[in-house]
Amino acid sequence: MLIRLLVGCVGILLVGCSSGPPPKQFILEPVLDPVNESVPPLLDAVALAEVMIPAYAADQRLASRDAQYQIVYDENVKWADSPEEALTRVLANRLRYYLEANVIVEPWPRGYEPQARIEVQLDKILREATGGAEMSGQIRLISGDGKAMIGVRTFQFVRYANSRDPNAFFAAAAAGVNDISRMATDALRDHFSQ
């Protein structure tokens, strides 16, 4: 009887200690362009590696930097997917749009012979002071057989927002992924049109 009473008291304490509602989850969605103005390179098949991100960004809580340049996490806002999966999914979507080609995320099926491979490494992805996204990193373009480097493009930009609402960050991050997709498409177009 005493054990049941203790277990019941512990359960009540645990329920009483939980503070507030669970964190809100947000999904990263592609930002759609009304018109695809880029001329696609002559490619049919492209392989995309999963986007690489820094360790702090792998946490599903939304990361920002405070006035002392320390990484802080928003306990009430989380990515609905892992950040790597979300960024890779949206990047693949935008590359399909700009390249007008099949873009398959590695590992690809047997018999798939891409003409080019794309690797994106983010060195930074943070919510900035206006609620937007600060992003920097590198795009590596590799031949389809993996034996030659086609090119490397670095990027560093801030997509500002007018709100600290989490939706503003996710919209800004998706717009940043559009920018990365355009950079990769332009570099591939330059290479394959020679």
Q: What is the pLDDT of residues 84-138, one digit of tens each?
A: 999 999 999 999 999 999 999 999 889 999 999 999 999 999 999 999 999 999 9
What percent of the chain is predicted at pLDDT more than 70? 86
Which domains, and CATH codes, for the chain? 40-192 (3.40.50.10610)
The pLDDT score that the predictor gives to residue 38 is: 63
| Model pLDDT, residue 19 | 66
Give Cβ neighbours of residue 94 (< 8 Å, ≥ 6 apart): 30, 177, 178, 180, 181
What pLDDT score was predicted for residue 18?
52
DSSP class of 52: B
Q: What is the mean pLDDT of the chain?
A: 88
Token representation of residue 26? 């947000």
Task: Return the percent helix, strand and coil in the chain, to nearest 5.
Answer: 35, 30, 35
Confirm if 104 and 39 have CB atoms less than 8 A apart.
Answer: no
Q: CA dist 27 to 73, 86, 170, Å?
A: 17, 7, 8
